[in-house]
A = this chain, B = another copy of it.
Amino acid sequence: MTAEFSRRTEALLNRAEAICGHRGANLTELRRHVLGMILDAASPTGAYDLLDRLRQTRRGAAPPTVYRTLEFLLEQGLIHRVERLSAFVGCIAGCTADPDGESHTHAAQFLICRTCGRVVEMQDHDVSSVLARAAKDAGFIISTATIEAEGLCSTCRSVPSARGRGNRMAS
C-alpha cells in the first residue's frame, strides 16, 4: 500500500523515479515512501520521525531501514541533511534534475526560521564561489560545504505573533 501524498509531492516522486531510472538507480517503494514523507513535510524531518511513521505500515522498520534509505536519497541528491537540526529536507533541484545528468549533491544554502521552523533552500552561486575563493586563499580546496543560517523569515517578520506550525525552535 503506497502512502498518499499531495499532488505536488506525487509529481516530484514520479520525476525522481524517472531520474533514478535513467541513472540505473532503483527508487524502491520504501525509498519512494521515505522521500515522499520528506517532500510532503513543511519542515525538516528527523530520522526517528520518519521511522515512527514508517512503522505504521511497515512492521519490521528499524533505524537501519531509515538510515540506509536516507543514505541512498542523499547520494542521489534527492534530499539534503540539515546539520543544525539533524534532520532532512527534500531537494527540489535534485528531484527535478536533468535525467541524463549525473547524480550529485548540490551546493545549497539553508535559511532556518527560528520562529516557524521552516527551512528555505537557496542555491546562490555567489555564496558558493566567494567561499571557495576565500578557502583557496587559505590553501584549501573545498569538496562540499555546509551553509546554514538561522534567523527570521519574511512571513514571521511581518506576523510578530508567531504561530508555530512545525515549530522546532521557539525561543
Interface residues of A (CB under 8 A from B): 83-84, 109, 111, 113-114, 120, 122, 124, 126-127, 130-131, 134-135, 138-154, 157
Contact = CB atoms under 8 A, between A and B. Distances in A.
A147 B145 contact: yes
A142 B149 contact: yes
A157 B139 CA distance: 9
Given A83-B83, A135-B149, A138-B122, A114 B143 contact: yes
Contact of A151 (B83, B84, B109, B141): B141
A124 B145 CA distance: 15
B149 A120 contact: no
A160 to B, nearest CB: 13
Contact of A149 (B139, B145, B151, B153): B145
A155 B139 CA distance: 8
Nearest to A131: B127
Given A83-B83, A83-B84, A84-B83, A143 B134 contact: no
A98 B148 CA distance: 28
A89 to B, nearest CB: 15
